[in-house]
Amino acid sequence: MTKERVLLGRPPLLRQTNAQILLRLLRETGPCSKADLVRASGLSAPSVTNVVAHLALAGLVQPIGEGDSTGGRPPDILRFRAERGSVAAVEIGPDFLGFLLADLDGREIGKARVSLGRPSSSPPAVCERIGGMVRDLLRQQNQTEEHLLGLVVGVPAIVNVQEGVVRALSALEGWSNVPLGGMLAKEFKCKVTIENDTNLAAQGEYYRGAAQGEKNFVFITIGEGVGAGIFVNESIYRGSQWTAGEIGYLRVPSISREHPTIHKYGKLEKLLGAAGILKSWQSNRQRSRTYPRVKCAADVFDLAAAGNAEAKRLLRQRATLLADIVLDLALILNPSVILLGGEVGNHPRLLQEVEELLKGSEFAIVRVGLSALGSSAVLWGAIYTALDPAIFGLLRPSGPPMESSFLRGKPPAA
């Protein structure tokens, strides 16, 4: 048994904990003096001096001159150096790659989106593309690769976060059991994290969207697929095999009522997803000329909003399915809010319909709302996930890498 494994309580770690407290204060309240930090943190003045020196050495704080004197020597005002480094967020979509670069305050400093064609969507090609694009974004900010302190990638698939392995990505070819984390670690020197996109979107909403301050909430995304990001006890919950929130396979009564014979798994996802809605609309259209032409699933809901009776019927049907899902989630988890996101889920008419259906229910009273970040939720969640480990990584005492996970709850054992 190596002694290094006992980490907690050793002086370097204690200093690190104190450093985290001070950094959090500086980041939240803005520039202030050492005396302010002593007062706000409850740490002793020598500790603060010691830790501030440590932070300055890491390049994370900087004195910005003297403040107003209250009688004695004017105090040095300290500020958090958000420009010390940057973090990058990447979203791998079914046909695109999204990028967001942010400083250590989480302020956007660069953004890009490229489409992803067939031949260029193999795992090695995607890795190369990510490497090139992130380096481009850094260059535009006159930053070198040394500035990049963290990279988080969101993938529409089940992800073993601990090992950085993408289990299966149905939307892209050749993506099954891809060690994406390992592949990208060869491209970058910084910490690379791979995460399920819905889990990231939920964290994005928690960070700066519609779920700020919510300790228990669920984010449901309905787009090409259907999934849920579950937040319990203030952290994302991934389950025993990383598949928590795979609600596209739920068995709800409205499915068996409408399609009593079909019970293939994933049926719910196929009906409720964008493709399912389009398919229903098109097949109805073939039978009757009264159906207008539509381009995407949201168009059908727009038609319903405009009063088209057929579109209204279809909307009602899908809303019934969704209401069943919402009800089951509410009973199992008792979240304070359930947010709807994704291309289909983020439609106000769908929300209105679901709310109406839930009104009749005496149980599992839950607030349902729309995602506030829309299509950028995944990227912001990735930035949020990247920030703390990136900053605290700079403070790491020489030695074994610190498990940053204790900051936000432990990940499950694989």
Residue 227: what are its φ and ψ, rounded to 5°?
-160, 170
* Residue 252 binds other proteins, judged by CB under 8 A: yes
Binding residue for other proteins, selected from 81, 84, 238, 267, defined by CB under 8 A: 238
Binding residue for other proteins, selected from 37, 52, 250, 339, defined by CB under 8 A: 250
Of 13-42, binders to other proteins (CB under 8 A) are 39, 42
* Residue 362 binds other proteins, judged by CB under 8 A: yes
Amino acid at 376: S
List, edge to edge, every strand of the sheet that includes 76-80. Answer: 32-33, 76-80, 61-66
- The piece of 22-30, 86-94, 243-251, 272-280 that touches other proteins (CB under 8 A) is 243-251
Element (H, E) at 385: helix 377-393
Binding residue for other proteins, selected from 262, 296, 332, 414, defined by CB under 8 A: 332
* Residue 327 binds other proteins, judged by CB under 8 A: yes
DSSP assignment of 227-276 = EEEEEETTEEE--SSS-TT-GGG---HHHHHHSTT---TTHHHHHHSHHH
- The piece of 66-74, 84-92, 136-144, 406-414 that touches other proteins (CB under 8 A) is 406-414
**Nearest residue (CB) to other proteins, 364 versus 372:** 364
**Nearest residue (CB) to other proteins, 141 versus 361:** 361
Q: How many residues can be counted in the chain?
A: 414
CB 296 within 8 A of CB 278: yes
Q: What token pair was written down for 51?
A: 């830790």
What is the smallest separation between the CB atom of 330 and other proteins, expressed in angstroms?
A: 9
- The piece of 173-181, 227-235, 299-307, 391-399 that touches other proteins (CB under 8 A) is 227-235
* Residue 253 binds other proteins, judged by CB under 8 A: yes
What is the smallest separation between the CB atom of 253 and other proteins, expressed in angstroms?
A: 5
Q: What token pair was written down for 197?
A: 């996109």
**Nearest residue (CB) to other proteins, 233 versus 286:** 233
DSSP assignment of 100-167 = EEEETT--EEEEEEEE--SGGGSHHHHHHHHHHHHHHHHHHTT--GGGEEEEEEEESS-EETTTTEEE
Give the 3-state secondary structure of residue 323.
helix
**Nearest residue (CB) to other proteins, 186 versus 263:** 263
- Interface residues with other proteins (CB under 8 A) are 1, 5-10, 39, 42, 44, 215-216, 228, 230, 232-233, 235, 237-247, 249-253, 255-257, 265-266, 324, 327-329, 331-336, 360-364, 409-410, 412-413
